[in-house]
């Protein structure tokens, strides 16, 4: 639901404006807006503009310094309290930390590149050490380190040429990070010229000895490899230790300065929303109605000379108010789905409860399989365990949505008698309790369309209730809902699903209601009614997707006996079931969301609401910033 809001007006002496803003920022519940009364807006003075510029620049330096520390793996905890820093002092401190972290980051990049290069060559050097361990091979062979930007086919061709030309040799290959291939070639000492000619013709480059090993030949560099790797690792650890020391020494002051600068900038921006006369100021904004008594009491206790009043509801339009959504815990996760659309306008309807009820139901109606529902429940458990640390994190919310979807899928699975298609029927004697989707395609189609009719009638009734302040519009939406029901009854009577005696009276009522609807909603009412009927038929996709899902599951089961060996058939059946389950994960989600966003929301949803952003103290955690009450 959308929380009721109250518009608040503060009037006081002009010198008390900073104190009033301080109290409001401490309270953290008032969403400031320009005053509705005719009064000049506060114009920033030269001093305020200069201070805003200094604070913004200092904040940028502080943010860059903290980002540099975080990039080096040095976490900075938010202090409970820290001595305040002036903008200039904080900027100087941040510039010093920023310069040092930049130097450490550059050094770490260079060391990491060197470590990666040495680590890439290390296996080849180890093989070289083993080959030349006896010492006698050093006199018989010349060592070549090669590098290819190619695949195994080139290596095979090179090996064939070397076998044909050189005869005795040893060629070892290893794939390096990035897809390159390193080659270690031991060729007879007297054949160096032939080797160089063959390599040039094959366009194979000789890899130089890493500079970190001091250059020279491979044999000279071999003893220096492991010591240099250890030295690089020690240097990387030393860089991390220095970054941690910087974070310990300067981090608390910088984070305190960041918080203070954010708050100061917010206070300066808030001043521009105030109305002023030569002697007084006016502040206006919205607060949730349930927090208004607490806010009013706090203002009157701290600033008794400031007048606080609630603006009469008739003096402002609902579309101006910011929107705060609140739902019971069982519905909260589904705000993730409605958040994909703009916020509803204040005074309209929050669609979250409808999505929470109909989305899992329609999903379960499409998939309708006990086995697939059990797999969805397993996914819900995995997501729940991953999101256990965050009560309202993404994984936690997705887990609750998946649990609701899995529950409906299992329930409809028993009603349809499906466990991995017809496997439950063939192996365990499972029978449908309500509908056999494999056979009853037309009844399933009628069920899907009937659900669509109920869904859209509910949307029209919701629109009529939401527009009760506008009787003409409310009557038009209510009459459209009634006509939709009458059309459904007329069709059911014509198809003998209801008594045939209902056909004539419902048709007459429809013909009488049509001109009334045109009078209430205009000439486009007929077109909108036809469009709504088309939307009802769109729910036939529920039947199409559900039937396709069960048929694919049955085909997967038939594969067991379609191949020569049972093991191969079972393997193909499992793969087919996995593919069908993957389709069942995504396709129903997309189509059910479309039925909500396009067909259902089109009957009542009024987008364009403003996000509630109270004037409050800044927090480094976006989830902890007071954006809703």
Smallest CA-to-CA distance from 87 within 118, 38, 52 is with: 52
Cβ atoms within 10 Å of 304's Cβ, excluding its own:
8
Write down the pLDDT at residue 628: 43
DSSP-based three-state secondary structure for 495: coil
Rounded to the nearest integer, the mean pLDDT of the chain is: 84
d(CA 324, CA 627): 8
The enclosing H or E element of 282 equals: strand 280-288
Smallest CA-to-CA distance from 24 within 278, 280, 303 is with: 303
d(CA 401, CA 392): 12
d(CA 314, CA 275): 21
Query: Left if phi > 0, otherwise alpha if psi is -120 to 50, otherwise beta: which for 207?
Result: beta
Which contacts of 218-227 are long-range, i.e. CB under 8 A and separated by 24 or more positions?
A: 218/125, 218/128, 218/143, 218/145, 219/132, 219/138, 219/143, 221/125, 222/125, 222/128, 222/129, 225/118, 225/121, 225/122, 225/125, 226/122
Which DSSP category does 173 fall into?
Answer: E
- Higher confidence at residue 92 or residue 130? 92
Which of 33-47, 481-495, 607-621 has the weakest average pLDDT?
33-47
- Higher confidence at residue 348 or residue 561? 348
Write down the pLDDT at residue 338: 92
Tens of pLDDT, residues 391-447: 568 888 999 999 999 999 999 999 999 999 888 888 888 899 999 988 889 999 999
Q: Across 62-218, where does the E strand assignment appear?
A: 141-148, 170-175, 181-188, 205-206
- Alpha helix positions (H), 134-289: 137-140, 152-165, 192-201, 218-221, 225-271
Q: Across 404-480, where does the E strand assignment appear?
A: none
DSSP-based three-state secondary structure for 300: helix
**Residue 220 phi/psi, 5° resolution?**
-75, -35
DSSP-based three-state secondary structure for 429: coil
Q: Which is it for the CA torsion 71, 72, 78, 84, positive or negative? A: negative
- What tokens appear for 622 in the block? 């976006």
As a whole number of Å, the end-to-end CA separation of the chain is: 13
d(CA 619, CA 616): 9
- For the chain, the residue count is 629
* pLDDT score of 614 more than 80: yes
Q: pTM (2 decimals)?
A: 0.75
The answer to whether 489 and 502 have CB atoms below 8 angstroms apart is yes
Residues contacting residue 291 through CB under 8 Å, at least 6 positions apart: 29, 629
Q: Which whole-number Å values give the CA distances from 300 to 10, 20, 24, 282, 308, in the listed order?
A: 11, 10, 12, 16, 8
Q: Which is it for the CA torsion 169, 175, 176, 181, positive or negative? A: positive
| Average pLDDT of span 108-128 | 72
- What tokens appear for 264 in the block? 């100061």
Write down the pLDDT at residue 149: 65
The answer to whether 181 and 174 have CB atoms below 8 angstroms apart is yes
Tens of pLDDT, residues 333-342: 999 999 888 9
| Average pLDDT of span 461-470 | 89
Confidence category of residue 248, pLDDT binned at 50, 70, 90:
confident
* pLDDT score of 52 more than 50: yes
Cβ atoms within 10 Å of 455's Cβ, excluding its own:
21
Q: Does domain 119-232 have CATH number 3.30.70.2750?
A: yes
Which contacts of 267-270 are long-range, i.e. CB under 8 A and separated by 24 or more positions?
A: 267/18, 267/21, 267/22, 267/25, 268/44, 268/48, 268/51, 268/52, 268/55, 270/21, 270/24, 270/25, 270/32, 270/615
* Domain extents in the chain: 119-232, 352-436+540-603, 442-538
| Average pLDDT of span 132-157 | 62
The answer to whether 262 and 616 have CB atoms below 8 angstroms apart is no
Q: Which residues pair with 173 in a beta bridge?
A: 183
Write down the pLDDT at residue 135: 47
Class of residue 393 by CB neighbours under 10 A (exposed 0-12, middle 13-18, buried 19+): middle
* pLDDT score of 527 more than 70: yes
The answer to whether 350 and 344 have CB atoms below 8 angstroms apart is yes
Tens of pLDDT, residues 268-288: 999 999 998 888 999 999 999
Smallest CA-to-CA distance from 303 within 322, 281, 287 is with: 281
Q: Which whole-number Å values give the CA distances from 396 to 88, 328, 330, 532, in the listed order?
A: 43, 16, 12, 36
* pLDDT score of 623 more than 70: no
The answer to whether 126 and 118 have CB atoms below 8 angstroms apart is no
């Amino acid at each position: 639901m959308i929380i009721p809001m109250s518009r608040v007006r503060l009037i006081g002496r002009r010198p008390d404006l900073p104190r009033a803003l301080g109290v409001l920022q401490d309270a953290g519940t008032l969403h400031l807006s320009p005053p509705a009364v005719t009064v000049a807006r506060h114009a920033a003075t030269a001093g305020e503009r200069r201070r805003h510029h200094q604070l913004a620049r200092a904040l940028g330096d502080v943010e860059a310094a903290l980002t540099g520390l975080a990039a080096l793996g040095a976490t900075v905890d938010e202090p409970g309290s820290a001595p305040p820093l002036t903008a200039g002092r904080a900027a100087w401190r941040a510039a010093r930390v920023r310069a040092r972290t930049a130097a450490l980051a550059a050094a770490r990049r260079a060391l990491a590149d060197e470590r990666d290069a040495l680590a890439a060559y290390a296996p080849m050097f180890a093989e070289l050490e083993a080959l030349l361990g006896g010492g006698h091979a050093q006199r018989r062979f010349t060592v070549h380190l090669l590098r290819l930007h190619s695949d195994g086919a080139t290596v095979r061709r090179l090996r064939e040429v070397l076998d044909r030309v050189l005869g005795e040799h040893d060629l070892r290959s290893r794939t390096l990070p990035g897809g390159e291939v390193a080659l270690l070639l031991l060729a007879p000492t007297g054949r160096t010229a032939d080797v160089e000619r063959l390599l040039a013709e094959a366009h194979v480059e000789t890899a130089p000895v890493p500079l970190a090993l001091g250059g020279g030949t491979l044999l000279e560099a071999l003893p220096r490899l492991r010591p240099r790797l250890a030295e690089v690792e020690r240097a990387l650890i030393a860089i991390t230790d220095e970054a941690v020391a910087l974070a310990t020494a300067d981090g608390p002051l910088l984070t305190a300065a960041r918080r203070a600068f954010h708050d100061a900038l917010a206070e300066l921006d808030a001043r521009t929303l105030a109305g002023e006369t030569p002697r007084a100021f006016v502040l206006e904004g919205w607060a949730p109605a349930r927090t208004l008594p607490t806010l009013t009491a706090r203002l009157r206790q701290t600033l008794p000379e400031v007048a606080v009043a609630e603006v009469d509801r008739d003096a402002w339009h609902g579309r101006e108010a910011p929107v705060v959504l609140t739902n019971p815990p069982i519905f909260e996760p589904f705000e993730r789905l409605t958040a994909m659309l703009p916020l509803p306008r204040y005074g309209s309807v929050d669609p979250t409860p409808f999505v929470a009820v109909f989305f899992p139901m329609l999903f379960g109606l499409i998939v309708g399989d006990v086995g697939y529902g059990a797999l969805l429940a397993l996914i819900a458990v995995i997501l729940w365990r991953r999101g256990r640390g965050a009560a309202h994190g993404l994984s936690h919310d997705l887990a609750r949505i998946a649990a609701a979807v899995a529950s409906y899928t299992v329930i409809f699975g028993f009603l349809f008698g499906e466990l991995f298609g017809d496997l439950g029927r063939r192996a365990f004697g499972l029978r449908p309790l309500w509908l056999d989707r494999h056979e009853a395609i037309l009844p399933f189609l009628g069920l899907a369309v009937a659900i669509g009719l109920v869904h859209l009638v509910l949307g029209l009734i919701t629109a009529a209730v939401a527009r009760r302040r506008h009787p003409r519009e409310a009557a038009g939406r209510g009459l459209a809902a009634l006509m939709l029901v009458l059309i459904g009854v007329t069709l059911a009577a014509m198809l003998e699903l209801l008594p045939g005696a209902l056909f004539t009276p419902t048709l007459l009522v429809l013909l009488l209601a049509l001109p009334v609807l045109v009078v209430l909603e205009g000439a486009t009412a007929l077109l909108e009614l036809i469009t709504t009927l088309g939307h009802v038929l769109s729910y036939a996709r529920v039947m199409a997707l559900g039937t396709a899902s069960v048929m694919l599951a049955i085909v997967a089961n038939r594969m067991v006996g379609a191949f020569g060996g049972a093991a191969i058939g079972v393997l193909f059946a499992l793969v087919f079931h996995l593919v069908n389950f993957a389709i069942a994960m995504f396709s129903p989600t997309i189509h059910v969301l479309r039925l909500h966003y396009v067909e259902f929301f089109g009957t009542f949803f009024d987008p364009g609401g403003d996000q509630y952003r109270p004037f409050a103290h800044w927090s480094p955690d976006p989830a902890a910033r007071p954006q809703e009450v």
